[in-house]
Structures are given as structure tokens and as C-alpha cells.
Structure 1
Amino acid sequence: MRLEALHNELVACRRCARLVAWREQVGQEKRAAYRSWVYWARPVPGFGDPEAWLLIFGLAPGAHGSNRTGRPFTGDASGDFLYPALYRAGLANQPSSTHPGDGLVLRGVYITAAVRCAPPGNRPTAEELAACAEWTRRELGLLGRVRVYLALGRIAHQALLGYLGLPRAAYPFAHGRAYRLKEAFLLCSYHVSRQNTQTGRLTAAMFDQVLAQAKALAGL
């Protein structure tokens, strides 16, 4: 199965009743600044280079970002931090990500998340994470050239460990920590959320270093 076919299947998913209700409620109520938008309000498929060497793995779509635009980290503060960093690292053709069709192209990078629907309070339940793990298995299984898995935050890190069949206790999360796997590396970073970037927990310089580390691990 190709990624496009999998994504067509994914966007029709209604497995988690709480997430379906929330994503659609947000899409109807909207934020005042986006009244003119028709929200995506469906599961958000991954985005990027099918031949990617770097897999960036986030937590879940933002209610008024990806849940609005239909593309990971697009249209909110997290994307306003992430995509300029990818551009500085030579991994994107432009520093902005506002909507699908804006011309953004990723180079050697693919972005997806542990949960594909926007969760209330940005907090998916254990059951919702488990339900989406099947999408992770199928989507990441089609990305055969990944050499570095970059987990954004502890929950994404733990979800990746589950996909890779690795025990949590042996691979604790810590910003900037890298683990050698059989045929790839697992790299950790604080999430690029507004909460982390506005408080200085994660700075642009810190994330630039993480991307530089990813390139070095991949031998680039």
C-alpha cells in the first residue's frame, strides 16, 4: 500500500468517539480569527518526503492548527517554530507553513504524530493512543529509509518505543538524548509547543542543535 492510499483510509477513521466529537465540535465553533475557514476536522495524515531519512513524531494535531488546515504543525505556533528550524537546517524549501498548497516541500523529512485527531486539552487517553498505534505501525512501515526517529516530547517518545518494540525503562526520555537502534537512531527533544517555546524550555538554538544532531547521526 502506498502512503496516499493509507491516508485516504485514515481520514475516514471514526474509531475514537471522544476525539471525533471534539474535532468536529472545534470545527463548527471555530476560533474568531478563523471564522472564514472550513476546518478540516478529520484525522490528520502525515506529511513530507516518502523517502525520508528523518521521521519527526509529534503528539497530536492542534485544535486550531492541524485540525483546521489538515496538515501537521500547520497554522499554529508550533509550526511557526518547527518549520523555520527545518528551513535553517536545509530540510525545507521555505520557513513558513500556513495551509496545504502553500508550496512547502520537505527534504528528507516526514512528519506525523502518535494521535491523528485533536484531543481535548491536548491530552489523548491511553485508549486513544493505543487505537492510533495501528495507524503508526502502518504509516511508518511504508517509510523504509528512516535512519533517525525524532520524538517531540515524552508521550511521542513512548509511542515510538511501542512501535519499535522497545521497553520504556531502558530508553528514558531526555532532551537531546540519542539511542542507537539496530538500523537507526532514536532521538529525543522537548515538544515544539507554545508552552515550551514561550517559556524558554525549548529555544530555537536548542532545536537547531537537535536537528544538527539528527543529521550527524544519519551521517549527513
Structure 2
Amino acid sequence: MDTSGLTGLDQRIAGCRACPRLVAWREEVARTKRAAFADWTYWGRPVPGFGPADARLLIVGLAPAAHGGNRTGRMFTGDRSGDVLYRALYDVGLASRPTAVSADDGLRLHGVRITSPVHCAPPANKPTPRERDTCRPWLVRELRLLRPTLRSVLVLGAFGWQAALPAFAAAGWTVPRPRPVFGHGARYTLAAEDGGDRSGGEDLGLFGCFHVSQRNTFTGRLTPEMLREVLTTAARTAGLPAGNRTTGPSGAG
């Protein structure tokens, strides 16, 4: 097993069994399945991050969906939330294709990595505070590994925002006090601490976006235009040439 870098981290995450409730739930879902996916062999394990090791933009969600990432083994892949997110990433030139259906579908991200503060699918999409805190060291390690190239983070939803702030602090950025307040379009700068192990890390642009949940997208609380706008802003802050595919750059990195 590769124990160095993001590859090693992803392997370790996929083998984690630290939270009994989440282990039982994800494995039960993988056994019983949903009728529409009866012929699938579910992943049924923690879902690691997805995207290149030199990403300049990190997207932070909440947790894998029971019949999405928990089924396919890849973040936001195989569910309607992922349909919305990857369509927007493709539209602004940050993904090679507009859909994500399986881990081997050939999808590539350009300068972007996607992760979550909780790596197992939780019952009712609601991790407990203890489960969130138990999973945090994985996010801290991921941030530290990405730090040499990472320039901005887009957090989807208030849960991810609150879970990620302590991870940013542990990974070498200063979180202002009072703490940054979540909101769609929220924007802050986290200063890189002058520590001996920063590995070239720089200040980090922090952006908020409503989560791409069905509740938000079906009601119009989050529209495709809103999502594309905040994605483009976060990507350009990171130095990625994002833009509408019909009028701007079609890819980066």
C-alpha cells in the first residue's frame, strides 16, 4: 500500500472503521441496495476525495449519499446532487464531462478536488457532532497535502462550513475571530500561518455556497446560475481560468 501523499491517504480513508453507527449503516445500505441499483456491487466503504493532487481549488461537501458515493465509491457520483455539481463544473470548464455515473466513467477534474468532512454515508444525511469530529483528522491531512498548491476552498452548506473551519486552523491557516459566517456568496481570506512546515502554502480564499441538495435545487434556492457564478469566482481566485464554455476558457490544468 502507498502510504505517502494523497494516494496513501485515500487508501487509509477507505479502510476506516472508526464510527460504529456509520459502518453499520453504510454496509447495510450496500447489502440491501435500492431496487434501481439491484445489479450494482456497492462500494459500501468510506469515500475518499476525488481530484488531482495539485488542485488549486477544493470543494467541500457534507458526506456521501447512501446510493450515490456509497454506491459508486466516488464523491458526488451517481446522485442528483452530483448531477447538479458536475454539470456546473463542466459548464465553467473545470470538468471533462457534464455527468458522473461511476468511478470508471473517465471523468477528470481540472485543477479541482472534491472532498467532505465526513467520509461515510450517514443515516438521514445527518452525521453526529462526534462523527464529524472523529473524521476531521482526515480533512486536516488532506488540506496539509494540498497546501503547496491550494489557493481557494468552496464549501457547500453550513454543516460543511462549520466542520471545515477547525480543519483549516489545524492545517496551517488562521481562522479569523469572530469566526466567518456561512452564507451563499460569503467570501473570506484565511492567512497562512508562518510555520516551519507550511510547504509553500499561501493565503486561502474561503467561499460559501448553498449545498447542491435536492431541497435547494428543486426549490430554486440554489439555481444553476448561482452555482456557476460562485464556482467561477472561487476558481479565478485560485488562478484557474474558469468561464462559460461558450464564451470563456474550456479547461484548466
Scaled by the length of structure 1, the TM-score of the pair is: 0.97
Is 1:215 matched with 2:235?
Answer: yes
Is 1:141 matched with 2:161?
Answer: no
Percentage identity across aligned positions?
52
Q: Which has the larger radius of gyration?
A: 2
Q: Give the C-alpha shift of residue 160 in structure 1.
A: 1.5
- List aligned pairs for 1:144-183, cutoff 5 A: 144=147, 145-165=149-169, 166=175, 169-182=178-191, 183=203
Q: Give the C-alpha shift of residue 111 in structure 1.
A: 0.3
Partner of 1:128: 131
Partner of 2:106: 103
Whether the aligned pair in 2 keeps the contact of 1:161 and 1:167 (CA below 8 Å) is no
Q: Distance in 2 between matches of 1:114 and 1:164?
A: 11
SS of the equivalent of 2:145 reads: coil
Whether the aligned pair in 2 keeps the contact of 1:161 and 1:168 (CA below 8 Å) is no
Q: Distance in 2 between matches of 1:178 and 1:84?
A: 23
* 1:167–1:14 distance in 2 versus 1, CA, 3 Å: farther
Where does structure 1 lack aligned partners over 5 or more consecutive residues? none
Deviation by residue 1:153-199 (Cα, 9 ceiling, x = unmatched): 00111111111223674201010010012111100000011111011
Of 99, 116, 130, which residue of structure 1 is paired with 2:119?
A: 116
Q: Give the C-alpha shift of residue 218 in structure 1.
A: 2.5
Partner of 1:30: 33
Of 64, 68, 82, which residue of structure 1 is paired with 2:67?
A: 64
Of 195, 199, 204, which residue of structure 1 is paired with 2:224?
A: 204
SS of the equivalent of 2:118 reads: coil
SS of the equivalent of 2:160 reads: helix
Where does structure 2 lack aligned partners over 5 or more consecutive residues? 170-174, 192-202, 241-253
* 1:143–1:123 distance in 2 versus 1, CA, 3 Å: same
Is 1:73 matched with 2:76?
Answer: yes
